[in-house]
Amino acid sequence: MSSIEQKSANAIRFLSMDAVQKANSGHPGAPMGMAEMAYALWHNHLSHNPSNPNFFNRDRFILSNGHASMLLYSLLHLTGYDVSIDDLKNFRQLHSKTAGHPEHGYIAGIETTTGPLGQGISNAVGFALAEKMLAAQFNKDDLAIVDHHTYAFLGDGCMMEGVSHEACSLAGTLKLNKLIALYDDNEISIDGNVTGWFTDNTKQRFEAYQWNVIGPIDGHDIDAVSQAIADAKAQTEKPTLIICKTKIGKGSVSKEGSEATHGSPLGHDEIAAIREKMGWTAGAFEVPEDVASHWDAKTKGLATEQNWAALFAQYESKYPQLAKEFLRRMHGDLPQNFDEIIKAAMTDVVAKGESIATRVASKNALDALASHLPEIVGGSADLTPSNNTFFKASVDLNITTGEGNYVHYGVREFGMSAIMNGLALHGGFIPYGATFLVFSDYARNAIRMSALMEQKVIYVMTHDSIGLGEDGPTHQPVEHVESLRLIPNLRVWRPADTVETMAAWAAGLTSSKNPTLLALSRQKLPFLTRDEATVADINKGGYVLKENDNAKVTLIATGSEVELAMKVAATRDDVRVVSMPCVEIFRENDKAYKNGVLGDAPVLAIEAGTTRGWYEFADDVVGINTFGASAPAEQLFVEFGFTVDNVNQHIEQLIQK
């Protein structure tokens, strides 16, 4: 290890210390401990171009232990990304690009938002899976245009979070050999030395996952880390974990190896002492000229991209249609005729008029729409027959070749969802994945991350209410739809029939910045007759299904309860019916449209779930504020008051008020 190499690693160390100190907030210990690991990877191995951060064939780097964000920000600055010294000085401040944890979309070069521990490494599994599948779909023996690695740094916290177990277990099974994870094994978390609560044999654990494991090695030895990465890149069958033994807060005079460096600034006196100890004469936020020139990432990055561009030019000449398709998918564009495909599919659904469960209608929508989208990659958390997610163009993923478009995720709801985020972020794919709605609780934080990062990820959640019947309250989602509606930027659809289900899928596939969640029924639901204009209004999230100029009450319903609302309307001449399959989209309409849909009469909402959220629109609600019960569905709807008589009683009470 040369002196300039150590000096370049120290630049990461001191920029991180200085930024945390200026902000008087942050986590200096992890960047200090991983500085040599970062230098070895970013200087010696990482294939990227700071001048074009979205270069398609770049390696992806994920900092799973996102509290070490200053490590990444320092690297981005030193390698020439659009991160200035002023940005580093503005660390953790309002509207700063350098947020407390890496945020996707704030700075080019941040591949995914990390902070919730374990999700970064799980996203990395999705990135690596995307690379493998794209390579299978586009590479030719003579021209491999998709050929890059996914690297992840992770710490003890990520190792402890359950989602890492789910995702890493699957990564080994899927033989994602271009996934290389570097484990910052410093044995420290917020509470202190982890030996009191984390005694896993990590090496054996990952070997059992069918990973290639290297180490433990000295994580502060640049040559050793660089050689381990080189060895990992030579692996052709398995993902690799490199166990790097490090000291948190490496270089600190009084706090090295202590949890005291984890989440607090070191203090001006301590930083001054570290500068003296390490012979660092540069001032705060200063990068020595020899260090700045040594990184030289822009020159190397430009050459890397030019080499790939020359390769792609050959590919484009020899395989013009494949090249065009590759660029379309990597740019996230839908096929030019997709609007016509949607229109034809909707016309067909209306003409058929089928009364089927919306989970079955969802599969039919996939047959009609997804078959035209080679970028679709589906899957289920071990519930494929129940979720109806294996459509006519589905092909099981071949774990050896990467061919196929359907992933059997196993009973891994959280891991599945985090992996789907990685697939979407990588580019080239629209992922959908499924489970029962009640198990959205397991996946919730990854669903939240889809919304936060504005990713086109589609969640297919079936068995949406007490209508699933005998499995009982453990499987009957009561609070789930309403709680998911609380997640900003997530669009939750609860369709009432085949037409609304098709509209939901069309909205999810054409949305650019919103993940979509479909809450679908197990039981059959009747086809609802509408005119052409009313069908078009479904895209507005809420619409008048049955108008009545003499209405004394407006009924709003979703999903299976729209059938009940229409039955009530058939018994009397003073109500109108509104179907609101997507509350979030309905809110986005102008005031005039919303007022026109809601009308002037009192409003009664009907949904087989918790009631609180409906008071935004309604004066009264027929819902469920308890858990369900085990019984046939038809008995449960009567038991919980979803009957014509009970709704009529609520209507009369509203009229009297």
541 is in an annotated binding site: no
SS3 301: helix
654 annotated to a ligand binding site: no
614: three-class secondary structure by DSSP: helix
Tell whether residue 33 is among the known ligand binding residues: no
Lookup: tokens for 355: 């009364």
* Residue 88 annotated as binding site: no
CA distances from 430 to 54, 167, 436 (A): 18, 19, 20
359 annotated to bind ligand: yes
At residue 434, the 3 state secondary structure works out as strand
189 is in an annotated binding site: no
Whether 494 has a binding-site annotation, put simply, is no
Count CA within 13 A, CB hemisphere, residue 100. 11
- Alpha carbons within 13 angstroms on the beta-carbon side of residue 470 total 1
Show the tokens assigned to 201.
């044999």
116 is in an annotated binding site: yes
CB count in 10 Å sphere of residue 612: 12
Active site residue 276: no
User: d(Cα 436, Cα 468) in Å, to the nearest integer?
Assistant: 10
Compute the distance between CA of residue 185 and CA of residue 181 in angstroms, rounded to an integer.
12
Determine if residue 221 is labeled as part of a ligand binding site: no
CB contact at 8 A, 344 and 506 = no
Cα dihedral angle (622, 623, 629, 630), rounded to 10 degrees? 80
To the question of whether residue 471 is assigned a binding role by annotation, the answer is: yes
Query: How far apart, in whole angstroms, are the C-alpha atoms of residue 234 and residue 601?
Result: 70
C-alpha angle 636-638-642 in degrees, rounded to nearest 5: 105
Residue 149 assigned ligand-binding role? no
Q: Say if residue 268 carries a ligand binding annotation.
A: no
Tell me the Cα Rg of the chain. Answer: 27
67 labelled ligand-binding? yes
Distance CA 497, CA 385 (A): 20
Bridge partner residues of 406 (DSSP): 378, 396
Q: How far is the C-alpha of 241 from the C-alpha of 227, rounded, in Å?
A: 13
Q: How many CA atoms lie within 13 A of 106 on its CB side?
A: 24
Query: Which of the following is catalytic: 413, 563, 584, 607?
Result: 413
In terms of phi and psi (left: phi > 0; alpha: psi -120 to 50; beta: otherwise), the region of 303 is: alpha
- As to burial, measured by CB atoms within 10 angstroms (0-12 exposed, 13-18 middle, 19+ buried), residue 276 is exposed
Closest Cα to residue 23, out of 87, 71, 107? 87
**Annotated binding residue 650:** no
Cα–Cα nearest to 312, from 146, 128, 127, 135: 146
- Tracing tokens 């807060």 back to the chain, one arrives at 249
Q: How far apart are CA 411 and CA 393, in angstroms?
A: 23
The answer to whether the annotation marks 101 as part of a ligand binding site is: no
Pick from 365, 149, 302, 314: nearest CA to 239: 149
The β-bridge relationship of strands 188-189 and 192-193 is: antiparallel
Annotated binding site for substrate: 27, 262, 359, 386, 463, 471, 475, 522
Annotated binding site for Mg(2+): 156, 186, 188
Annotated binding site for thiamine diphosphate: 67, 115-117, 157, 186, 262, 439
Residues involved in catalysis:
413
Annotated binding site: 27, 67, 115-117, 156-157, 186, 188, 262, 359, 386, 439, 463, 471, 475, 522
